[in-house]
Amino acid sequence: MMRNLYAFLTAAGLTLTLFAPPSFAQAAPAQPPPDTPAFSSVPELESGFHDLYEQEFPEAREIFEKWANDHPDEPFGQMAIAASYLFEEFYLQNVLTSDYFLNDKRFLGGITGTPDPGRIQGFQSAVAKARVLAFQRLKKNSRDPEGLYVLTLAAGMESDAYSMLLKKHYDALKHLKEANVNAELLLRQRPDAYDAYVALGCANYIIGSLPGSARFMLWFGGIHGDKRLGMEQVQKTVDGGHYLKPFAQILLALSARREKQDALAQKLLKDLTEEFPGNAVYIAEYEKALGRPIPAVIRPAQ
C-alpha cells in the first residue's frame, strides 16, 4: 500500500520535513493587517460556500466566478473556484464518505476509478490563476496574509487531488511541504487563520495512518505523521474556521469513525445535517454513524 511512494522516497533519499508541529501564533504582527476576503465575511462568498456544502456545485461555481470577475486582483476568488471543482469530484468519487475512509486500500491509496478530466483541468486552471495573484501580493509584501493564505490552501488542495484522485503520491508530498511552509508563515502573521490547519491536519492523519513499516521507511526521508496531532489540527478548523469549517467537520467525523470515537463522529455529523439539510451525504453518514438504515440517496449522473 503506497509502496511506490515510500520506495521512491527511500531510493531518492528525499528529505522533506513536513509535519513537525511548528510554534505558531507567538509572533503576532505589530498592528493588525486590514481585513481581506479570506479574513472577513463576504456575503457572495458565504452564499457560494453554502451552496458548495449543499452539493449545489454549478451554482456555487457561478457565484465564485462572478465574484472573481468583479474582483480580478483577489486570489481568493480563484481559490474558491478551484475548491468547487475539487469538492464536486470528491462527491462524485465518494471520497468524503465512510465507504472511502473506512477502507484502508482506498483511504491510503486513492480512488478506484479515474477523475473527470474536465473537472481536474478546471481545478488546475483555477489553482494556477490563484497562485499568480497570490504571488503578485507577496511580491509587494512577502508577509501578506491573503497571499500566504491562498498559497497554503492551494497547496493543500493540490495535495489532496494528487493523493486521492490522481494517485501521484510523490507530487502530493511536495505540495504538502509547500502547504506546511506557507501555513507557518501565515499563522505567524494571522493566528486567527484557522482554515489553514485543515490541510496540515489531513496530511498528519493520513501519514500517521500508514502501516508501521511504511512510516518507518518514510521517517528516513524526514516525513513524519501523527494521527492524534492531525485530528487536533483539524479540530482547530472545526472550532475557529470560516469557509472551510464544514469541510473540517466531515473530515474529523470520518476520522473519528476510523478511530472508533463514535460520540464525536455523531455530534459532528448531526451538526452538519442541521446546517446543510440538503446534503444527502451528510444525512447518510449520520445515519450510518448511529447504526441506522441508510436513507435512499439519489446521486447525479456522472
pLDDT 10s digits, 126-156: 999 999 999 999 999 999 999 999 999 999 9
CB 159 within 8 A of CB 179: yes
Written as one string, the DSSP assignment of 1-65 is: --HHHHHHHHHHT------S---TTSS--SSPPPP-GGGS--HHHHHHHHHHHTT-HHHHHHHHH
Q: Is the pLDDT of residue 294 over 80?
A: no
For residue 224, what is the enclosing H or E element?
A: none
pLDDT band at 175 (very low <50, low <70, confident <90, very high): confident
Question: Which pLDDT value is given to residue 169?
Answer: 75
Q: What are phi and psi of 13, to 5 degrees?
A: 65, 35
Q: Amino acid identity of 3? A: R
For residue 261, what is the enclosing H or E element?
A: none
How far does the chain reach from its first CA to its final CA, in angstroms? 28
Question: Which pLDDT value is given to residue 27?
Answer: 42
Indicate whether 14 belongs to any domain.
no
pLDDT band at 51 (very low <50, low <70, confident <90, very high): very high
Indicate whether 298 belongs to any domain.
no
pLDDT 10s digits, 56-65: 999 999 999 9
Indicate whether 34 belongs to any domain.
no
Residue 75 C-alpha cell reads as 486570489
111: which residues sit within 8 A by CB, 6+ positions away? 93, 94, 95, 100, 164, 165, 167
Check residues 219 and 239 and name the one with the higher pLDDT: 239
Query: Cα–Cα distance between 245 and 64 in angstroms, integer?
Result: 18
Mean of the per-residue pLDDT values of the chain: 84
Query: Cα–Cα distance between 131 and 249 in angstroms, integer?
Result: 26
pTM: 0.85
Residue 232 C-alpha cell reads as 487536533
Tell me, what CATH number does 53's domain have?
A: 1.25.40.10
Indicate whether 235 belongs to any domain.
yes
Instruction: Specify the range with the lowest mean pLDDT, choosing from 22-31, 55-64, 211-220.
Output: 22-31
Query: Cα–Cα distance between 198 and 242 in angstroms, integer?
Result: 11
Number of domains comprising the chain? 1
Residue 80 C-alpha cell reads as 474558491
Indicate whether 232 belongs to any domain.
yes
Q: Amino acid identity of 212? A: G
Q: Is the pLDDT of residue 20 over 80?
A: no
Domain extent, residue 126, equals 43-290
Quickly tell me which residue has 501519514 as its cell.
207
Q: Is the pLDDT of residue 223 over 70?
A: no
Indicate whether 4 belongs to any domain.
no
Burial class (CB in 10 A: 0-12, 13-18, 19+), 120: middle
Indicate whether 66 belongs to any domain.
yes
Dihedral-angle region of residue 25 (phi above 0 means left; psi in -120 to 50 means alpha; beta otherwise): left
Nearest Cα neighbor of 171 from 182, 159, 183 is 159
Quickly tell me which residue has 456575503 as its cell.
43
Overall average pLDDT of the 176-186 stretch: 88
Indicate whether 114 belongs to any domain.
yes
Query: Cα–Cα distance between 257 and 289 in angstroms, integer?
Result: 8
